[in-house]
Structure 1
Amino acid sequence: MTIQSGVSLLQRVVELQDLKTFRELNWTGTFGDYLDIVARNPKVTRNAFQRIYDMIMSYGHEEFIDAKKKLIRYHFFSDPSFDADDAIFGLEIPLMRLVNFFKAAAQGYGTEKRVLLLHGPVGSSKSTIVRRLKRGLEQYSKTEAGALYTFDWYMGIIDSENWDWRQAPESEWEKCPMHEEPLRLIPAETRERFIEELTDGYNGEYAIRIVGDLCPSCRFNFRDLMLRYQGDWSKVIRHVRVRRLVFSEQDRIGIGTFQPKDEKNQDSTELTGDINYRKIAIYGSDSDPRAFNFDGEFNIANRGIIEFIEMLKLDVAFLYDLLGASQEHKIKSKKFAQTDIDEVIIGHTNSPEYRRLENNEFMEALKDRTVRIDIPYITRLRDEIKIYERDFNKKRVKVHIAPHTLEVAAMWAVLTRLDEPKKPNLTLLQKLKLYNGRTLPGFTEDNIKELRKEAPNEGMQGISPRYIQDKISNALVNYQADGYINPFMVLNELENGLKNHALITSEEDRKRYRDLLSVVKEEYTEIVKNEVQRAISADEEAIKRLCANYIDNIKAYTQRERVRNKFTGQFEEPDERLMRSIEEKIDIPESRKDDFRREIMNYIGALAIEGKTFDYKTNERLHKALELKLFEDQKDSIKLTSLVSRVIDKDTQEKIDVVKARLIRDFGYNEQSATDVLNYVASIFARGDMKH
């Protein structure tokens, strides 16, 4: 590694700076300059709902079919280039409802007058969704497509027609405390005519509108200057400087977050601002806007978004502010008239808190003004796995994670969230596989739709991803000395944690979860048995020879011919024993063998007509049958069960080393985990041999 000097590193930082973008984000100009921008790009005047909807859509989307249902996946919520740590998986339906809410609000269809409430069990991504929206707005406001503007006041004396606003010291500019839209400076009596002329010939997606009045602070400055210039608005507007507005939660610009405290200490001024008592002595009145701090969460979130964490824990007094803010888009600060706001109000809460709201008759007004979107746990296995792959990938974790470790943890989590199927011939594990896109004999996509319909609240209970993440972390720490973790280590951690799980209050639930761990262990056993079988039978040349032998025999059988024995040169009857030994591996009954053999030959014939050659890999069922047959033929020669007795001859050891190398190369194991899985599968076969 080359060690660079401090001077060269400093120079590198200078080179990496993007001064052009910095200047764009800190643009300032006159009100006339701003009107030029509006004329070129009317979207800078969008309201908060329109801006959020456009932000989501700017990342693109894709349509796909799931169980005959057309769904939309909005890339904003999962795009790793934006924020990989907060990527959201498998919640397409709730997120479609969320985007539809914003779309309707952007069009002015009424949902812009509602509080958006995300409701679901703990750890179901409610906070993550809001956090992603907030961070998305921060990034979007820095782009050309997401640009928006606000203004500052110069309250000094302008004594010359040639006065240059750029020469005024920065300390003499007074910012609008609520980052308002500059078009609000247009006097109310001239707005309608002004909009007509501004939008003449404009046919954009959103109509340009000037909604609401100036905040008390700007209203005071505007009135003061109008009196100074005897109503000459053109002179008043010279005191205004328009500037680019960039949202920032850290700087409390355009993004607010409110978290309820102890009920006795809640203070509504945290939402709507408070009197600055030090300035009362200067200005002589507590109703002078200059003696008031318009820095409540509602104030600073204007033009953007305000998040209410655990919203239903708010004191009733706060809810009145919430009702006015949502329905009327107005807030009431102490000592001032109602103030217009333009912001998205989004809260989240868990199920117990929401049940309390439903049972509280004093909350009727809030319920009437709330749009609830349920955010359930994931019920699709592959999406649950993505969560843990994101958190426990090779970049973050130095300990080797054996194949299927995250998969079995995810499988158990999803099983706890599913309702028992009402169909008697369907197990919970099979239901999980159907939801995950697997096809099972006797079940169609219509059956999957029925399963989802009969369990509308599926995913609203069960084990949280946080619990799984905690237990995987425990396994990584506890088995760090071993250099790797495997599924059994994680399953043991999951089971041991159940007795102290704070959210499981029923022994019946605890027992059910333990029983589901047994189901997962059985499924994992089948998975690794199949994996070792594939590793043993991964000799492609041997499979090709077996396949060619099988094809020769079924060809002779279907054409009622004899087969030439390549060793003796004699013609013999087709080898029925060989053919059946392969077909039985995929459950082809005796009564169906003729149909299956003709099906294979017809397939080969169709390929020949197209000028293509037959490859066993293109027929999944035949491929599986050949692998299982080869495994059966080879397992005795490899003597896998000798691993259990620890008595291994040199020839067997060499064959076992080949299998282990395949597990490492093709399936993602390391030396230790491959050895463990071979020992485990060997013990299974040993038990099977003892039974026989």
Structure 2
Amino acid sequence: MEWIEKANEDIRPQNQVLSFENYMEYFSKNTLKECRPTFSYLLDMINHFGRNENDGFNLFLKEEPDCPAVYGQFKPQESLYENLINFFEEGINNKFILLVGPNGSSKSSLVKKLMKGAELYSETKEGSLYSFSWVFPNDNYLKGVMGLSTQSKSENIESYATLDDKSISAILPSELKDHPLLLIPLNYRQKLLDTKLIDHPKILESVQKSYLYRGDLSKRNRMIYDALLKNYKGDHKEVLKHIKVERFTISRRYSTGAVTIEPQIHVDAKMQQITMDKRLQSLPPSLQSLNLFSMQGEVVLANRGILEYSDLLKRPLDAFKYLLMTMETGTINLSGILTELDIFFIGTSNEIHLAGFKQHPDYNSFKGRFNFIRVPYLLNYKEEAKIYLNQIKGLRLKTFFEPYALRVLCLFAVMTRLRACQSKNYSDKNLSAIASNLNPIEKALLLTEQPKLPNLDIESQQILNNGLDQIQDEFRYENLYEGKFGLSPRDLKKIIYKLAAKHKNVTFMDVLENLEKMIQEKNEFDFLNMTPQGDYHNPIRFISLLREYALNRFDRELRDSLGLIDDRSYEEHIKKYITHINSMIKGEKVHNKITDKFEDYNEYFIKEFETSINLTEQPKKFRSYLISKLGAFALDNPGKNFTYGEVFPDVIHKLQESFRNEQKKYIQNVSKNLVFYESEMDKNSDQSLPSSLSEKDKEQISHIFSNLIQNFGHSHKGATTTLKFIIKERY
């Protein structure tokens, strides 16, 4: 079986076993990598996966079967990264990170991605982690008992790390996965780190504040070390022969360095005496007399990794009061024994429980030790749509989602999460007037793609685009922030399954019909009970706006599918206009390529063009804007071949609209023939029936369907249904 050999090759690096001496040689070559507390390790892990072209973290976009990608939560991800940087500067994980947001806002998913990233990183060469166990050889191997009664030393033996099972009497692991460097006595360890990191002052400063520089072994490891040292008359080399340094990997499934504590009540860490443990009977006499303890619990398992407190505030306060001291000192008190921890503490909570927590008398004590990161619902409908792509992909064999079906659903979700812009929140009066007049769909589109709004002139559009950050952050620090309320992704997933069960082809009309029924269920959704503010918090109005939006989009696709106008004619039309207004502004003549003469600019053509695009603002201002925009595009894209349609898409759109009346007559003719065309399609089984349509009419409609299917992704059934709907509504 070939897979066995390949599996053996894959696992060998992870099963690496070293003696302590070998580990120190490895440490000398990889000092920076081996001097990483958890916060540094997680920073390197995130950097290992890198950033994408949008400056987001690739880690959170990785699709894994057991850990789906997290879309759109860019600010919470940046906040997590900034907290890790702060921990690096402090030299300790001295804050508990609490992710706060409404139910279903991907708080736990963010933590899962951190854990999954740590798992994958720990399997790489750059992310290797090491701990150690104590190995005790049996009497047959040593030819004598190595207890207090013997003076013999195994001077010819370098290490017991690589002994096989038949030569070993007992192995005691390090339950907290203590770092091998902690085996070096404190003073010597500090001198070693000072020397090795002298060329990296920033890292040295951080390490000097960490447990690697100031800490010690866990209680059990310290007791074993001291007992053996006493037995060997102070010979550290003999003690360290018992050390087996092993590589370990982080695993959420097996609770190794990545552990989740569920909200039910239980003890997070405890100690249990193991003096009566059978393993002790195989230990040297020098250790059998010790009162050794075993540490258990999620906190112990998570050491040197990530510990998540899921729904932290659902637990009684006393169940996590120990965090007050732990976050302050980096230690936990177990039965009077202070145990040092190296854990990235993170938790999740919803807004309701946080509001209750703030009323508790102890809240202020926790407040100074907690860093709160808001994780709201998404306000970017395109990022929202990415959440459901895998779900829709899984349904594709039984249901096809037509173009705009998912978009309309996601836009509705975003609109339920928005608040109306308030004039008082803007110092710029012009921006204030524009922002306060945005309706919900305009704001939802603005937060995603910054579209050209038809009711704004060019100057107003520029003011709006420049003020986008202010609009995004308007309610960021308020209690009722945008994304705190509204339809959750969990609800949207249910809606998608309902639509898939009911329809073979889901159109935007089907989505709107489902939403019309859903908004009647006011007992199920809190956002439906919010007081309307104009079009905001008004789901009936949302549906009306979305219907118009989707119809406009399909109307544009339909017109593009008619084939009446070649896009190249628009290009030449705009090019001619730009040439003439440029000559007008500069007071120059225009070169006529046909006559090869220089002529005056055509003022009649300029005015006719501006009339055709229904220009409402001052022509001079509009002309100057186009010339400056063209110049800016050329500066930003030196040497690039471009089309005027690429630089001025809004002008192209207005030109297309100028042909609307001609196209409308054409569509009305199509609407008359559509019923006959469907009948023709159904007659395939009986070729003898006479045709009601001419070949020209059939070809005309077939051409439209072909374009809608090939160019815009509609199915034939979906295109037919939507075409009927738009004809009914508009033609």
Q: TM-score range by the shorter chain?
A: 0.7 to 0.9
> Residue 421 of structure 1 contacts residue 428 of structure 1 at CA under 8 Å; is this kept in 2?
no
User: CA offsets, 1:640-661, max 9 Å, x none?
Assistant: 3315765873333321110110
- 1:41-56 aligned at under 5 Å gives the runs 41-42=30-31, 43-56=33-46
What count of residue pairs does the alignment treat as equivalent?
Answer: 640
Per-residue deviation, residues 521-544 of structure 1 (Å, max 9, x unmatched): 22112221122122224653xx54
CA distance in 2, matches of 1:219, 1:556: 87
Letter in 2 for 1:232: D
- What amino acid is the match of 2:451? R
1:93-104 aligned within 5 A: 93-104=75-86
Q: Would you say the 8 A contact 1:380–1:432 is kept in 2? A: yes
Which residue is 2:440 aligned to? 428
Q: In the alignment, which residue of structure 2 is the partner of 1:327?
A: 328
Displacement of 1:73 after TM fit?
A: 2.1
Q: Distance in 1 between matches of 2:403 and 2:71?
A: 21
**Is structure 2 residue 17 aligned with structure 1 residue 28?**
yes
Deviation of 1:631 (Å): 5.0
Deviations 1:223-269 (A, max 9, x none): 331232122211111011101121112222111210121xxxx232x
CA 1:544/1:73 → structure 2, altered by over 3 Å: closer, same or farther? closer
Three-state SS of the structure 1 residue aligned to 2:357 is helix
Which digits, 9 at most, give the CA deviation of each residue in 1:467-525, with x for residues without a partner?
1121012111222xx3x211222233334334176342763469723432222222112
Residues 633 and 156 (structure 1 numbering): CA distance in 2 closer, same or farther, change over 3 Å?
Answer: same
Aligned residue in 1 for 2:156: 162
Q: Which amino acid aligns with 2:82?
A: N
Shift of 1:552: 7.9
Residue correspondence of structure 1 range 442-481 to structure 2 within 5 A = 442-443=460-461, 444=463, 445-456=465-476, 457-479=481-503
Instruction: Give, as a single letter, the amino acid of the residue that structure 2 aligns with 1:403.
Output: P
Counterpart Cα distance in 1 of 2:259 and 2:643: 64
Q: Distance in 1 between matches of 2:331 and 2:314?
A: 22
AA in 2 matched with 1:377: Y
Cα pair 2:260 2:309 within 8 Å, conserved: yes
Q: Letter of the 1:416 partner, please give it.
A: T
1:368–1:374 distance in 2 versus 1, CA, 3 Å: same
Unaligned runs of 5+ residues in structure 2 are 144-153, 282-287, 423-432, 593-601, 678-691
1:117–1:205 distance in 2 versus 1, CA, 3 Å? same
Change (3 A) 1:352 1:195: same
Once residues 357 and 466 of structure 2 are traced to their aligned partners in structure 1, the CA distance between those partners, rounded to angstroms, is 37
Residue 401 (structure 2) aligns with:
401
CA distance 1:587–1:673, change in 2 (3 Å): same
Give the Cα separation in 2 of the matches to 1:40 and 1:362. 48
Pair 1:77-2:60 in alignment: yes
Per-residue deviation, 1:126: 0.6
Match of 2:245 in 1: 242
Which residue number corresponds to residue 367 of structure 1?
A: 367
**Residue 144 of structure 1: CA displacement?**
1.3
When residues 552 and 149 of structure 1 are mapped into structure 2, their CA distance, relative to the original with a 3 A threshold, is closer
* Residue 485 of structure 1: aligned partner: 506
Partner residue in 2 for 1:3: none
- Contact 1:401/1:485 (<8 A) preserved: yes
Identify the match of residue 51 of structure 2 among 61, 65, 68.
Answer: 61
1: distance between equivalents of 2:292 and 2:89?
38
Q: 1:122: Cα distance to partner?
A: 1.0
Instruction: Give how far 1:627 is off.
Output: 2.9
Q: CA 1:575 to 1:537, structure 2 compared with 1: closer, same or farther past 3 Å?
A: farther
Cα deviation per residue 1:530-565 (whole Å; 9 max; x = unaligned)? 22122224653xx5457768988999999999xx9x
Aligned-residue identity in percent:
22
**Aligned Cα root-mean-square deviation (Å):** 4.0
**1:128-148 CA-partner distances (Å, limit 9, x unpaired):** 110000111111111111111
Please give the TM-score of this superposition, normalised by the length of structure 1: 0.82
Aligned with 1:530: secondary structure? helix
In structure 2, the CA distance between the partners of 1:505 and 1:624, relative to structure 1 (3 Å rule), is closer
Determine the structure 1 residue equivalent to 2:685. Answer: none
Q: Which amino acid aligns with 1:257?
A: T
What does residue 571 of structure 1 align with? none
Q: Judging changes above 3 Å, is the alpha-carbon distance between structure 1 residues 281 and 251 closer, same or farther for their aligned structure 2 residues? A: closer
Give deviations 1:373-398, integer Å, cap 9, x for gaps: 11111112222222223442379665
Match of 1:212 in 2: 215
Contact 1:216 1:289 in 2 (8 A): no
Structure 1's 315 and 643: CA in aligned 2 closer, same or farther, altered over 3 A? farther
Cα distance, 1:624–1:581 mapped onto 2, change above 3 Å: farther
Unpaired runs of 5+ residues, structure 1, are 1-9, 65-71, 565-573, 687-692
| Contact 1:305/1:346 (<8 A) preserved | yes
Q: Say whether the 8 Å CA contact 2:330–2:342 is kept in structure 1.
A: yes
1-side partners of 2:573 and 2:347: how far apart? 67
Q: 2:127 aligned with 1:146, yes or no?
A: yes
Question: How far apart are 1:99 and its partner, in Å?
Answer: 0.6
**Corresponding residue for residue 679 of structure 1:** 724
Cα distance in 1 between the residues matched to 2:577 and 2:466: 40
Please say if residues 137 and 169 of structure 2, whose CA atoms lie closer than 8 Å, have aligned partners that are also in contact: no
Residue identity matched to 2:179? E
Secondary structure of 1:346 counterpart: strand
| Paired position in structure 2 for 1:413 | 413
CA distance in 1, matches of 2:106, 2:193: 42
The one-letter code matched in structure 2 to 1:332 is N
